[in-house]
Structure 1
């Protein structure tokens, strides 16, 4: 089968059986035993391997940059109130982006929600709609709790976001990387999921250095294709420690390669390089005409048709080579999405 592409709208047929609906651990594998397709940026050559063999493709002096943002259970269900009356029960709210210690943007799965409406999750925990989000179905909501107290309630009552290819309510642990430490992502930074501590130790023993940053992922899909906005409309908060950024710049200057574990890491690093700031918000949209300043290689999953992440990959490798490799991945039954296999482009 041939993949058909068009500028910034890469479309192809993905058989449904290639959507990974189960975590590897529920398929009889360790998380680091998923398949890995290694794609050469220059030649387009493809090698098939397992992720546990990653050390064979990285060198001493390279820096592997990981996103240690921790996934929160971003679906809450509550009772919908307006002017003292109950308008609905078990209404679903999907957290989209944190604005401050008590205010979030959220997707409310109900029609005709108005500013002033309240959603009650328990006797002590509720949220009020305090505004609209411009040109978006998202609402601004203010919780009755803030900071640590708010996160405790979210972790107590929430569920992880799951999309239609997930047929079982896997618990939150399956949506975490082993090194996740900073709560804030509403969807898992999934490229890091395949790492185990054993693999990270093997890489360090080889001389590969590790660096961490945080980019808290926002809600990627608003359940309505009418609102499939550009990544330029999608702001995500990132933070990089000064010492880690110094190590990355030093390694780059001395010939080491910077390998990003995921598109979130690429966005954060390239924004930091372009704006000379290690903390802030990014809406960077990377495409084939973008000249990467820091990142030399990417570890990523396989991305669905029309995904903007595919545009980012064309900054690493020629578009035709990329989609020839995707054809091969489909033929070889690589698995897609957060519980799927890995693509190393280097």
Structure 2
């Protein structure tokens, strides 16, 4: 395993509420611009992103929408309550899920509402997950999940914020259990301004899985965390055209990097592809597609930091992060942004 980047993150730099609840627009969060060659940093606001991108650059966004993955259920067998967290969507009616309270046994049925039940179709002692086969599928299942569930939130978030706060403005395809948060700071206004400048915009879909499993014993690295992605023909063409014309491909989020670099690795070139990725990107990974990255601030020793070190030397990254702490940047999904170019 690669050595992880360690640093002290003061408690008060965990963003506890969305920027809108701190009185600023989503695109007015801070942005640290990091030059991946020199390590030089500039501190600005996210809405000034268009100053750093050029005509002919291509932004690639993740169109996955966040689902409210925390659901309460009742065991049919004895009426006890079990809270489950959806972890990965396997197909239109089956989800891998993490029981948070109570145990579930293969074959039993749990009820979420008068019209929604699920059967435990898989359960094993060497994984914290169970597979749930729901009695509904497709949009009927999503309608139930959206009406019953709550968004996953971690210990630094004390209040249950509304699901809207966990969506990017452009997300269209439900499936992520944690917000693909690098895209959160975009407003439509900023996207239009970028397009006016000649920056092109393309979309992929990668549905994020549950990364935090409550018990360290089960903690999985990215190579054990399979996530479902889709790169369309249109996006693959736009990337090829951008590269051919000498423009830069800028990934919005580590999810986009994972999807694009997975396809390039598996197919030896970028083409339309759908599949599951467990690609673990580190400082030793030679990136084939992504020239730049827009991402949030990642916590100490996170695997996302190792992905960042594929773009920029670890020492330069460490210095930049020290600067961000001095500048009181906020961390996590409601926090500030980092542009690496």
TM-score, L = length of structure 1: 0.95
Deviations 1:187-235 (A, max 9, x none): 1100000000010011111110000111111111111111221211111
Paired residue secondary structure (2:47): helix
Match of 2:259 among 263, 268, 280: 268
Match of 1:24 among 19, 25, 28: 19
Match of 1:199 among 186, 190, 207: 190
- Give 2:206's aligned residue: 215
- Give 2:10's aligned residue: 15
Following superposition of structure 1 onto structure 2, how do residues 240-319 of structure 1 map, counting pairs within 5 Å? 240-276=231-267, 278-319=273-314
Q: Is the contact made by 1:65 and 1:212 (CA closer than 8 Å) also made in structure 2?
A: yes
Equivalent residues, number: 337
For structure 1, which runs of at least 5 residues remain unmatched after alignment? 1-5
Please, which moves more after superposition, 73-82 or 262-271?
73-82
For structure 2, which runs of at least 5 residues remain unmatched after alignment? none
Following superposition of structure 1 onto structure 2, how do residues 176-187 of structure 1 map, counting pairs within 5 Å? 176-187=167-178
Match of 1:237 among 207, 214, 228: 228
CA distance, structure 2, for counterparts of residue 230 and residue 134 of structure 1:
19
| 1:139 and 2:130 aligned | yes
CA distance, structure 2, for counterparts of residue 299 and residue 127 of structure 1:
38
CA distance, structure 2, for counterparts of residue 34 and residue 269 of structure 1:
27
Paired residue secondary structure (1:273): helix
CA distance, structure 2, for counterparts of residue 172 and residue 8 of structure 1:
35
Q: Is the contact made by 1:96 and 1:219 (CA closer than 8 Å) also made in structure 2?
A: yes
Paired residue secondary structure (2:321): helix
Q: Is the contact made by 2:34 and 2:41 (CA closer than 8 Å) also made in structure 1?
A: yes
| 1:77 and 2:72 aligned | yes
Paired residue secondary structure (1:188): coil
- Give 2:39's aligned residue: 44
CA distance, structure 2, for counterparts of residue 134 and residue 254 of structure 1:
53
Paired residue secondary structure (1:36): strand
CA distance, structure 1, for counterparts of residue 140 and residue 148 of structure 2:
12
- Give 1:93's aligned residue: 84
Please, which moves more after superposition, 27-36 or 105-114?
105-114
With over 3 angstroms needed to count, the CA separation of the structure-2 counterparts of 1:133 and 1:210, relative to structure 1, is: farther
Paired residue secondary structure (1:10): coil
User: What's the offset of the Cα at 1:257?
Assistant: 0.3
- Give 1:333's aligned residue: 328
| 1:110 and 2:104 aligned | no
Could you list the runs of 4 or more consecutive aligned residues of structure 1 that deviate by over 3 angstroms after TM superposition?
none
Q: Is the contact made by 1:133 and 1:140 (CA closer than 8 Å) also made in structure 2?
A: no
| 1:188 and 2:179 aligned | yes
- Give 2:215's aligned residue: 224
User: What's the offset of the Cα at 1:80?
Assistant: 2.2
User: What's the offset of the Cα at 1:110?
Assistant: 2.4
TM-score, L = length of structure 2: 0.96
CA distance, structure 2, for counterparts of residue 135 and residue 245 of structure 1:
38
Q: Is the contact made by 1:8 and 1:308 (CA closer than 8 Å) also made in structure 2?
A: no
CA distance, structure 2, for counterparts of residue 102 and residue 94 of structure 1:
15
CA distance, structure 2, for counterparts of residue 171 and residue 318 of structure 1:
38
Deviations 1:77-118 (A, max 9, x none): 011233xx22x22x2110000111111100001244321232
CA distance, structure 2, for counterparts of residue 59 and residue 134 of structure 1:
52
